[in-house]
Each structure stands twice: as structure tokens, then as C-alpha cells.
Chains A and B, each alone.
Chain A
């Protein structure tokens, strides 16, 4: 004990402590204890310096958040290619490109809604409606309709209009987006089933069969449609005032409003883009399957949300964008494809999707201590 207190004398605590008033006279043992703590605490920094460092740390973790998904994608691709030579074959790459058409379209639309901190659960319903209604309007085995071009356009237009209604209901009635979109999605899916009276139509248009086989530069036509939609949306997001407003609302809705942004209008537009994507996805899905079932859209949305989150989008808004969307979709599609190649059971894949979404959200969400995210 004596030895320890000797050390305490040499440390001259009073001189090294920050200018801080101490009332109680500390015992020597306490001196040593404090000195040890002080060293671990790096207390040469002032609070202002600590604060600056805190902000810098935040900026650094942001940087990691942006680059981690790209790194993951590259790493995954290399690993999968080495693990199984089939993976990087031309045939398999084309296969992935074909499979990613519908998810890419949906995810592109959903990314707008996610960026403003909302969610759109109605995309599956809209997709199913557009596909099944379209099958009834063009040449099919259920009725004598043959509206051709209009038969494609009208269902898509209705789908887009439905997004407008959903968006307006959301901002006017101020009902949380996950409730209102769940409700409107259910309604439109019900309408679809009623329309074909429980027996779905099989498409008999020759051009649709042709389209499904068509490819350009070896890449399937439907993939080109998806890429075109993705590019148009990227331009809207990155080169228009609307696109900036989407980011602004997602980051700080009150500040965006104070800057003169019409938050309601931008929100409705985001839902319209999402339903446009859903309608287009319904069309593309019909090209692939040629069977107009309302269940066309089933289980399509959550994989897209998963992919967006993996890519770095935030479920609470403000984070995400063009790059995050495409990277997320590629990671997700590659993973799914790889699991199929190595022969993993489909039900395991479903469970895995759930695990991925929990992990991805847990890693990216910034949580407050006071309340659990709702």
C-alpha cells in the first residue's frame, strides 16, 4: 500500500487535471485510481475537441456505409465464381439478367417511396391487377377481347392512377403509409380476382410470345425494359428538383417544408412512381408467364425491399439512390442464383431472406436509446 501511495505522490494530480474545482480532498489511493481512469479517458481533449471528433467519426462510418455494399458485391462475385465455375458462365449471367428484370423495376419504384421514409405495400396488388386485367383485354382464352395496343396501355394507366389515389389518401387522411398501402393493395387485388371471375386468362397474343424470346446483344428484351426504366428514374432522381426534394424530405421533413418544398405533392409523386413501376412490372411479368393471375405480384415486394436495404437504403428515409438500388439488386440476385446452383432448398432461401433483412437493417439503422423504432 505504501508503495502505491508513493507513486501517487509523483503524479501531481492537481497539476495535470483540467482546471476543475475539487472540493473534497482525495485520498492517495483514490488519486491513483483516478489517474488510471484519466489516462484511459484521453482527457487531454476538451469537450469541443471531442465533439469535433464525434462528428468526424460519424462521417467515417457514413463512408463505410456507402462503400460496404459495393465491396460486398465484388467480393461475392469473386467468391462465387471461384467456388463454382458455372456461376460466371455466359449462360448463367444471362439467366441472372433475365431474373432481375421484375425486381429491378419494382425496386427502382420502391426506392423513391423508401427515400421519403414511407413504404408501399400496394405494389404487389397493383402488379397482379395490371397483369391479370391486361390478359383479359388482349387476345386470350377467356373472352373475345382483342384491344391490342390499348389493351396494354389501359391497365398500365389504371395502375399508375391507382398510385395517385393511394398517395393522395396517404397525405390527405394522414394515414401511415404502411396501413393505407396495405389496404389499397388488398382492394385492387380483390378487384383483379373478381374481374376474371376466379379463372385467370391465358394470353394468346403472338407478339407477346415473341417478345419473351426476343433479345438484343444477347440480353433479353424484358431486361432492357427494366434497365430503361431504371435509367429514366435515375435521371429523375438525380437531375430534377423533385429528386432533390425526395432526399430532403427523407432527411428532414420539417426543414424541407421550411425551404418551400411542397411535401405533400412530392410524396404523392413518389407513390405514383412506385405504382408506375408496379404496373410496368405487371406487364413484364405477363410477358414472361403469359398467364393473367392476380397472384402474379405475390412475394415480389419484400425481396425488393431486402435488396434495397442490402444496397444501403434506409427504411427510415434519406439514404439510398441509384447506385444503392442497382448494387442491392445485384447482390440479392447473385446470392439467390448461387444458392440455386449449389442446390439449396427453396424454403431455406425464404428463411435466409428474412435473416438477411434483419441483419442488414440492424447494421444500418441508427437507433435512439430512448424509444424502440416502431
Chain B
């Protein structure tokens, strides 16, 4: 390890509106080092990598590469400085060949006049692939015909080729969960390649949810929590238990989550899910949701929990299994069918799936249930406004009037409007998908109290918390999912919450 750091960040931060997602990040990477970033979903790891790679601009702070001040601006600039990122969602072009993908945007070197000499490009691509030990991937194959693992390797080869050309083996490669789609053997190959890159003097930053992997390959580990860097550990001094402990950190605050109002669920099951499966995403998921219960669904991204919720709110089709609401077998194909049987959701992406931004606050509330405010099937604006005023009062929505456009409300208030819409529909089962995402602290507290009132009145909630903290604090019971299956269940009475570490252990 040389004495000069390859890459450093100073007080890097990222703010979206009023929401701070990353704060005061100082990391340091040496040449020939593999660094791991770990932390819960939403802890800010991916955001940091995107800032380094030039996909996002930092809101504050500076970075240095090779001792020079560095501001990416764009991915191309980052590449020229020797920084390249392999994305979680793959960015290869499916309808081009492997060779064309590797040299996309860099075809000039193989051109004669205006025409590309394919044989030359293919030969160069062959060299790139061979150098990565990917002899079994044809440079002429279309990317769409490759397996996901192969695509991942091609993408790594591509990024590595781009940055190594620019950096003379002093490249910084960023890998965001490279192993989620790989089998064990493929992972061995990948790690082998990563170590080779390292030996040549390149540095690698790796995000992974699989702790064994991180322990196996990294030299140093940074732990993230709630947008902050909470710990730095030398891998040789770390084991899984230490990492779990550093990842969870903060103790659950029972007051914050209004735990004294946590209900004890009734014995009556309102929703029974049996052997629910969606091909390629999750399978044999069975659970009951009881009256007055908050049931938390935990798991890392890709564990299948998102799709379980998507199926339950009618967004996706199940491939198998049965759903019963109030002991009655139901089958629905759309969110509106789901609402008719009594299931309604607060979606995760408020801006895309939640608010209708050209409509007023009042219209946004009644849009799910126009008939309720209608007179002879014609919408009564007066009723609609009265209804909205009722919700503004009872949920404490801060607005200038109910005619205000929803787009002008703050994140927390807009989210309360979505809750008003959902409550207005009087469905007994609510699916809350990250109900406090992008919401400021004050509004969070209001929403927690609101969830308590819902269960007090006999409603049932299926919750995917924004953080594990939140899931644990709000839920009466928690289901843990991993690799598409339910792998654990915890009772969470208000006075005896389980340890976060135990849940994290099952998730990873």
C-alpha cells in the first residue's frame, strides 16, 4: 500500500429538498485496496457511489482523485479520470453484441473513414474478454442472449477497459451489488478478477448485502447508517457479529414510535395469504394479517418483499397461491379490484405513483372514491371540498386552502393527503410501502400517530418500513424475507421488541 491515497472525499453530502440522504462523508481509498460499504437499504451507500461516478452531483463537500481536486459532472468525465461504475440495474444495450457494447461510444478507434471494421473491433473485444478470463463469452453474441451473470461480467469488463485505458492501472472501480444475480461459482470467478485488478494497483469500492462476501474480499469496511458514516473497520479485525452491531446502532425509541398506543391484534384474521408465489421473484409466502395489527415485512432489496406487496395491491399478477379477505377467497387483477375487496396501498414513489400533481388537494383525496361525494352521479365540488376540509383538520395537513395544487405542498403534507385518500376509501387493509420516505421528522411523527389511530379503530396494516428501526418500532409482528421466501417471524409487543441484530442476521 503506497502512502498516497488514490481517492478521498471530504464532507460529501446530498440533500433532496428538505431530505438529507447523505451527510459528512469522509472516506479514503488507497491504490490496490478493496473497500466494502455496508448498511441498510437507504443508508446512502448507493448515493455515495453515484456521486463519485458522476451520476449525481454532491450538494456539498469535495473529492480528490490522485491528489487532484475532482468533480465528476458526468460519467464520461469520471471515466476519463479513471473512475468507473458498474450499476446494480445493468446498463448494457440488449440489442447490441458484446463487442459493440464494450466499445459503445468509442467506435472511432476501429473505423476506417466512416465505417467500422467489425473484425478489428471484435478482435479487440476478444482481448478485453480474455484479459478478464471470460473465454466462454462470445464477443459476437447479442447481450440479450446472455445470462444475467454473463451480462454482469461483460459490464465489468467494459467499465474496466474504459477506465484502465485512462488511468494506467490506477483506476477506481465502483461495484454496486455485483453479486446479487450471480451463482456461487460465478462469484468465485468474479472475486478472482477483482483480486487481479487489485494486484495491478487498482482500487475497488464494493457495496454488498452479503456480509460473508464482504469479509472475504475486502481490506477495509465502511459502515453506513441513515446517511452517515458510522464506523470504519479493518476487515481482518471484523466478523459478522461486529458488523451487525455496527449496522444497527441506534436503539429504538418507544416514544418516537408512539408505542404506548400499539394495539394488541385481535384473533380475527382479515387477510390470509397462502402459498403466494410470483415466478422468479418469491414463492410459497403464507401469512395472516389480523384485525388491528401492524405487520412489518422486512428484507433486503431483492428479497421479494416489494413484489409481495405489489401482488397484494393488484399491481402485479401472482403466478400461484391464494388470498383470502375476511375468510372469502379473492382474486384481483388490478389495484381497483384490490380496493373493491378492501385492500388499498400507499405507494413508495409518491411523485410517480401517489400524487396527481395537476389536481388540487381536495381532488387528490377524492380521486379514489368520486362517487362518495357525488350527487346523482355528478361530482359535487362542495361535498368534495367539505370532505377535504374534514381530512385537513383531522390529519393536520398544512395548506393554504383545499384548492391548493398538491404539487405545492411539502413532502410530509403531500404524504398526509395520500393517507387521507386511502383512509377515505374506508378499506380495512392498508399496504404501506415506505410510508415515510422523503418525509421530514415532524411529519413522520404525525404519520406514526396516524398509523396507531388506524389500528385502534380496527384497521390492519401491512408495513414495509423505510428503515428497520421504523418497521420494528411500529409493528406488532415482523416477517423476515430472504431470497423470495419468508425465513423468520418475530412477535413485537410494545414492551418487548426483538433485537435488531437478530432480524438483520436473518435478512442477510
Contacts and interface: CB of A to CB of B under 8 A. Distances in A.
Interface centre among A59, A235, A254, by most chain B C-beta atoms within 10 angstroms, is: A59
B105 interface: yes
B94 interface: yes
Interface residues of A, number: 50
A252 B93 contact: yes
Nearest to B335: A370
Interface of B is mostly: mixed
Interface in A255-301: 255-256, 258-261
B275 A38 contact: yes
Nearest to A50: B280
A142 B315 CA distance: 64
Interface of A is mostly: helix
Nearest to B143: A251
Contacts of B111: 241
B279 A255 contact: no
Contacts of A254: 91
A370 B310 CA distance: 11
B274 to A, nearest CB: 8
Interface centre among A250, A255, A318, by most chain B C-beta atoms within 10 angstroms, is: A255
Contacts of B485: 18-20, 47
Contact of B487 (A17, A20, A58, A318): A20
B321 interface: yes
A59 B144 contact: yes
Contacts of A252: 91, 93-94
Contacts of A258: 75-76, 91
A240 B96 contact: no
A54 B279 contact: yes
A24 to B, nearest CB: 7
A23 interface: yes
Given A41-B277, A47-B484, A261-B104, A248 B118 contact: no
Contacts of B316: 369
A249 B108 CA distance: 18
B373 interface: no
Given A21-B489, A59-B145, A369-B316, A47 B106 contact: no
Contact of A250 (B76, B95, B283, B286): B95
Contacts of A247: 93, 95-96
Nearest to B480: A21
Contacts of A20: 284, 485-487
B189 interface: no
B116 A62 contact: no
A239 interface: yes
A312 to B, nearest CB: 12
Contacts of A250: 95
A53 interface: yes
Interface in B89-134: 91-96, 100, 104-108, 111, 114-116, 118
Contacts of B183: 48
Given A41-B320, A48-B181, A260-B106, 4 more contacts: A48-B483, A51-B280, A239-B116, A247-B95
Interface of B: 75-76, 91-96, 100, 104-108, 111, 114-116, 118, 144-145, 147-148, 181, 183, 274-275, 277, 279-284, 286, 288, 304, 315-317, 320-321, 483-489
13 contacts: A18-B283, A21-B487, A23-B489, A37-B320, A46-B483, A50-B484, A51-B181, A241-B116, A244-B100, A248-B96, A251-B95, A255-B92, A258-B76
The 3 closest A-B pairs by CB, nearest first: A47-B484, A260-B105, A241-B107
Interface of A: 17-24, 34, 37-38, 40-41, 43, 46-48, 50-56, 58-59, 62, 235, 239-242, 244-245, 247-248, 250-252, 254-256, 258-261, 318-319, 369-370
